[in-house]
Amino acid sequence: MRTSRSYQAHAVIIKQSKFGEFDKILTIYSSEFGKLPTVARGACRPGSKLGGNVEPLTYSLLMLAKGRNLDIITQSQCIDGFTALKADLWRTSLALYILDLVDSFTVQNSENKPLFNLLIDTLHNLSEEDDGGEILLRYFELNLLHYLGYRPQLYRCIICNSLLLSEVNYFNPGLGGVMCPNCRENGFDSNTISVNALKVLRLWQNCDYATAKRVRLKPTLQLELEQGMQSYIRCILQRELKSMVWLQNLRREMKSSEVDKTNRNN
Amino acid sequence: MAVIIGPVERLVEEFSKLPGIGPKSAQRLTYHLLRSPDKDAHELAEAILSLREKIHLCPVCFGITDKELCVVCQDEGRDHSKICVVEHPSDIPPLERTGKYNGVYHVLHGAINPARGMEGDNLKIKELISRLEGDVVEEVVLATNPNLEGETTAMYLRRLIMPLGIRISRLARGLPFGADLEYADDVTLGQSIEERREF
């Protein structure tokens, strides 16, 4: 625990809002203490030494002092600014969604080192990724759920506990897993999950990212996985994440402008 | 216990809604007004009312104005082929004070913040694009704030403006004048090295 008056934290800044004339309230996700609300005094001044080190989507080593309400960031050193990430609109939006997920799913002062490591690895991978980052996003969602105790049951039917067979099964977000066709007939509401989707999710639950990204997904399967994960996340949070809505709108806009471009070239 | 009289309490309450004013400061302001001449209080009240009544958004650039068009849009001596895009009306005066910019402005009224739901549709982006398609514009200066939200907005705008074939520029980033290298943050210092200029 934080016993001394000042302490250090390795943290990713996940959210900020302006406070007063020159201060910022920052939500940080730290390796040592989990999510913490903090205040960065004078961070909006042009000459502030905190400046760019306390922008969202930055991994920094922070020195904090205990405050009456919020702890105060006194010093900062940037470990990784993810500048490659911030230079690309699509990847920035993906990263903002990832930060939004972490913010929505975690509670304050609850340390979760594996989740912190997953976050850092995911942001690193996203900086280096060339493709759309969809696999990375699904992999992150699935493992975030795992580290926070929402790991979906993908091997046995959540109602009758029988082993799931290689056939079309049903995913029930409210019950947190997959059910067999027999149980579904007994009146439980759920969406179908194809054999391939189940296989991919099982693999991602148990492998590292290097293996996960070797999977080649057809657009239909990709869409099925996205919708499945989104319905589960929506069910747990009981709301739609605004950053996801933005991501979907942006993807639609980018697709339509691509179509425009090819039409013009033809 | 002190008895606080109705109108006094009401003004204290109204003052404490203002940014940076707590209950104590609100009380001090209220008692100051109570002691000051009638004229001062009337002028203050009148100034507040006329602010709300007369000020509206300029239909061209969406900056604030009390006339039909804002001062900048009216001015024919300014270069109307350059548009500087800013987040808030309050960003215009500092840019004007530099005396280095002679173009016109466009105010977005916010920046893109996916997590808080301030998305493209809520900002004056469509208006900017139709303005660019309509007028003869040679350059768009993206002067959104140099933070994550401002950058996201700038990148989003770049994507929309690029097909129109208009020159797009972004305000330079680097060390503020009078700063100390030793205390500069790593991100800013890194950028000023990357974007250093011939001297």
Label residue B1 by pLDDT band (50, 70, 90): very low
**Quick one: average pLDDT of B105-131?**
83
| φ, ψ for residue B66, nearest 5 deg | -110, 0
Chain B residues with CB-CB distance to A58 below 8 A:
187
Q: Would you say A99 and A16 are in contact if contact means Cβ atoms under 8 Å apart?
A: no
Chain A residues with CB-CB distance to B20 below 8 A:
20-21
- Which range is least confidently modeled, A26-35, A232-241, B154-163, B190-199? B190-199
Percent of chain A's residues with pLDDT above 70: 94
DSSP state of A148: T
**A104-141: burial string, b at 16+ Cβ within 10 Å, e else:** ebbeeeeebeebbebbbbbbbbbbebeeebbbbbbbbb
Probe site for chain B from A25, A45, A89, A264 (most B CB atoms < 10 A): A89
DSSP state of B136: -
Chain B residues with CB-CB distance to A77 below 8 A:
186
Q: Which residues contact A14 (CB under 8 A, 6 or more apart)?
A: A27, A28, A29, A35, A56, A99, A100, A102, A103
Q: Would you say A35 and A106 are in contact if contact means Cβ atoms under 8 Å apart?
A: yes
Q: What is the pLDDT of residue A174?
A: 86
What does the alpha-carbon distance between residue B107 and residue B147 come to, in Å, rounded to a whole number? 17
Label residue A183 by pLDDT band (50, 70, 90): confident
What is the least distance, in Å, from the CA of A100 to any CA of chain B? 6
B137-146 residue pLDDT tens:
899 999 998 8
**Quick one: average pLDDT of B9-35?**
89
Label residue A2 by pLDDT band (50, 70, 90): low
Q: Where are the domains of chain A?
A: 6-81, 85-261
Percent of chain B's residues with pLDDT above 70: 95
Interchain contact B156–A (C-beta under 8 A): yes
Beta bridge partners of A39: A25, A72
Report CB contact under 8 Å: B114, A93.
yes
Label residue A164 by pLDDT band (50, 70, 90): confident
Q: What is the pLDDT of residue A35?
A: 93
Superfamily of domain A85-261 in CATH is Recombination protein O, C-terminal domain (1.20.1440.120)
Chain B residues with CB-CB distance to A100 below 8 A:
114-115
**Quick one: average pLDDT of A178-207?**
84
Alpha helices per DSSP H over A87-167: 89-105, 113-128, 134-147
Provide the CATH topology of domain A6-81.
OB fold (Dihydrolipoamide Acetyltransferase, E2P) (2.40.50)
* pTM of the model as a whole: 0.85
A13-46 residue pLDDT tens:
998 888 877 888 999 999 999 999 999 988 887 7
Q: What is the pLDDT of residue B3?
A: 65
Chain A residues 225-244 with CB within 8 Å of chain B: 241-243
List the one residue out of A176, A172, A173, A155 whose CA is nearest residue A164: A155
Q: Which helix (H) or strand (E) holds B129?
A: helix B125-134
Report CB contact under 8 Å: A97, B114.
yes
Q: What is the mean pLDDT of chain A?
A: 87
Q: What is the mean pLDDT of chain B?
A: 87
Interchain contact B185–A (C-beta under 8 A): yes
A63-107 residue pLDDT tens:
999 988 889 999 888 888 888 888 888 899 999 999 999 999 999
Q: Is the pLDDT of residue B92 over 90?
A: yes
**Quick one: average pLDDT of A132-159?**
90
Q: Is the pLDDT of residue A126 over 50?
A: yes
Q: What is the pLDDT of residue B134?
A: 79
Q: Would you say B103 and B76 are in contact if contact means Cβ atoms under 8 Å apart?
A: no
Chain B residues 116-145 with CB within 8 Å of chain A: 116-117, 119-120
What is the least distance, in Å, from the CA of A236 to any CA of chain B? 18
Label residue B119 by pLDDT band (50, 70, 90): low
**Quick one: average pLDDT of B62-78?**
89
Chain B residues with CB-CB distance to A99 below 8 A:
115
Interchain contact B21–A (C-beta under 8 A): no
**Quick one: average pLDDT of B76-83?**
90
Report CB contact under 8 Å: A103, B185.
no
What is the least distance, in Å, from the CA of B9 to any CA of chain A? 24
Domains belonging to chain B, first-starting first, are 6-54 (1.10.8.420), 64-170 (3.40.1360.10)
